[in-house]
């Protein structure tokens, strides 16, 4: 018969044994009433502790993380604005109508991509 160390009952309950050893422990528990009783008692205590932990859990407000999230989005808007201004200035210098429209279209696409990414970040931060 396989020798089972007492702490392996706890580890088995916690799902912390490798599959081979977990199968051996499961067989030993099924075959030995004393091991089975120990395992049941550990399980009962485990349920009680887990319920107490769940009752105590709460989501704390961590303003430092919220502020960082907001700050991390600012450079994208700044970058978008700078891109637009730079392109408009460049277009005046070049004074070529078709090139101006092309560059402005690219700039608008960049802004759109940044806005979509920013909205996506905001949504994931809300999760």
Partner 1 sequence: MAEADSYERALRPLLRQAGGYARGILQSRADAEDAVQQAALKGLERIAQYDDARPFAGWWFAILRNCCIDMLRRRARAATVPLDGHDPPAPDQPEPFDLAQLEAALASLPPTQQEIVRLRYHGGLAYADLAEALAIPRGTVMSRLHNARKALARALGEEIP
Which residues of this chain interact with partner 1, rule CB under 8 A?
6-11, 14, 16, 34, 37-38, 41-42, 44-46, 48-50, 52-65, 68-69, 72
In the DSSP assignment, the letter for residue 15 is T
Minimum Å gap between C-beta 83 and partner 1 is: 19
Judged by beta carbon, residue 16 or residue 94, the one nearer partner 1 is: 16
Judged by beta carbon, residue 16 or residue 89, the one nearer partner 1 is: 16
> Do residues 118 and 77 lie in contact, with contact meaning Cβ atoms separated by under 8 Å?
yes
Minimum Å gap between C-beta 13 and partner 1 is: 9
Judged by beta carbon, residue 34 or residue 92, the one nearer partner 1 is: 34
Minimum Å gap between C-beta 46 and partner 1 is: 8
Residues 6 or more apart from 58 whose CB is under 8 A from it?
A: none
Judged by beta carbon, residue 58 or residue 92, the one nearer partner 1 is: 58
Q: How far apart, in Å, are the Cα atoms of 22 and each of 30, 71, 105?
A: 12, 48, 62
Q: How far apart, in Å, are the Cα atoms of 106 and each of 3, 31, 42, 84, 85?
A: 71, 73, 64, 10, 13
Q: Distance between CA 87 and CA 15 in Å, rounded?
A: 59
Minimum Å gap between C-beta 102 and partner 1 is: 32
């Amino acid at each position: 018969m396989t020798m089972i160390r007492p702490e392996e009952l706890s580890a088995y309950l916690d799902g912390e044994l490798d599959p081979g050893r977990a199968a051996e422990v499961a067989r030993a528990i099924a075959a030995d009433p004393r091991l089975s009783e120990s395992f049941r008692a550990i399980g009962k205590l485990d349920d009680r502790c887990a319920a107490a932990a769940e009752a105590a859990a709460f989501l704390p407000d961590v303003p430092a993380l919220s502020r960082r999230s907001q700050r991390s989005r600012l450079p994208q808007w700044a970058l978008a604005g700078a891109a637009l201004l730079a392109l408009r200035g460049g277009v005046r210098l070049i004074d070529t109508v078709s090139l101006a429209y092309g560059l402005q279209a690219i700039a608008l696409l960049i802004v759109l991509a940044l806005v979509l990414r920013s909205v996506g970040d905001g949504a994931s931060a809300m999760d």
